[in-house]
Amino acid sequence: MSLGLSSTRSSAAGCWLVIYPVAVFSSRNFKLQDKAERIVILGTGGTIAGKAADAADNVGYKAGQVGVDQLVLAAPPLAAFKLETEQVAQLDSKDMDFATWQRLAQAVDRHLQRDDVRGVVITHGTDTLEETAYLLMRVLAPRKPVVLTAAMRPSTALQADGPQNLLDAVAVASQAASGVFAVLAGRIHGATRLRKVHSYAIDAFASVEGGALGTVEEGRVRWLSQAEAELPPLGLSRIARDASQWPWVEIVQNHAGADGRVVEAMLAHGVHGIVVAGTGNGTLSNGLTAALQKARDRGVSVLRSTRCDAGPVIGGELPSAGALSPVKARIELLLQLLA
């Protein structure tokens, strides 16, 4: 291709994020300082690859319609980089599933092991991006950067945000030392503290408990804080089991009038693990507490999280998920059970 791309079609992380000072990127004078120059971009679909019939329509679009090669062509400054693309999946991230997670993690690991690869960028939908980022952070120990990016507007929008986000993500992948990041709206986030906090706005993501790790400003990567401390990696072998055989882990929520009937229903159908999103400091109604204790007595694993956007769950009789959001606590419990 004219942008120097080589395209493949196969569809075949907890760690400490080590961040060092980085050089300034310019599309005119960019030069990598080591032999690993290639950035691999893995496409999975999402709004960034979405299309609408009307350019003024930012809602009535269909996600996952544009191939990853086309996403690269929509950002001409990417011609400054040595790129390779692979279409791992093409779906709306609200439909993200275990099989795609497994295939994606294996693809990331495969490319990271190549001597000529500097880093990996993943184009993703926004709905479950924070979950995928956390999964990759827990099962990989990347010595190179893995950067997820996305868009809140489809590729056909009058002011599509996807091309800039992709350009920024590649800039970060070319300069960061190691770790799993998300780059959106000019901000660099770590996998653990990342949250989608707005349903529609362009800057829909935030890092709770400390803010973003850095920014990308007109091609300049600027780090604002030290890397967040991540959990040690569990290893890719955790997800080697066929995706159809992964444990069933569900999320329940405490709310006014909550009782234990939903937990009883799950027990009757063979649930393996339950994450409960409690109110405040993970508080639960008496009925829900009793039902979850019953589930534990029957061998079901339980983790207690909170509906709050930030802050840890401290104390209590049921095991705490710490500061993990309910969806990330579900991934943590799922990976523990996959052991």
For the stretch 112-156, pLDDT in tens is: 999 999 999 999 999 999 999 999 999 998 899 999 999 999 999
Angstrom distance (rounded) from CA 224 to CA 276: 34
Indicate whether 319 and 259 sit together in one domain: yes
Burial 282-293 (b: 16+ CB within 10 A, else e): bebbeebbebbe
Torsion of CA 297, 231, 94, 150, to 10 degrees: 170
Is 289 among the domain residues?
yes
Q: What is the mean pLDDT of the chain?
A: 89
Last residue of a domain, one of 189, 223, 257: 223
* Confidence (pLDDT) at 11: 37
Indicate whether 14 and 132 sit together in one domain: yes
Indicate whether 183 and 259 sit together in one domain: no
Question: Domain span at residue 331?
Answer: 247-338
Active-site residue (options: 8, 44, 47, 283) = 47
Q: Grade residue 231 by pLDDT with cuts at 50, 70 and 90.
A: confident
Helix (H), strand (E) at residue 114: none
Indicate whether 198 and 328 sit together in one domain: no
How confident is the model over 248-289, as pLDDT tens digits?
Answer: 999 999 999 999 999 999 999 999 999 999 999 999 999 999
Provide the CATH number for the domain around residue 204.
3.40.50.1170
- Counting residues of the chain whose pLDDT is more than 70, the rounded percentage is 88
47 is catalytic: yes
Task: Write out the E strands in 58-175.
Answer: 83-91, 117-123, 145-149
Indicate whether 259 and 203 sit together in one domain: no
* Helix axes of 98-112 and 129-139: crossing angle, nearest 10 degrees: 50
Number of domains in the chain: 2
Indicate whether 66 and 133 sit together in one domain: yes
Provide the CATH number for the domain around residue 334.
3.40.50.40
How confident is the model over 30-72, as pLDDT tens digits?
Answer: 333 346 799 999 999 999 999 999 999 999 999 999 999 999 9
Angstrom distance (rounded) from CA 171 to CA 147: 10
* Confidence (pLDDT) at 19: 27
Is 234 among the domain residues?
no
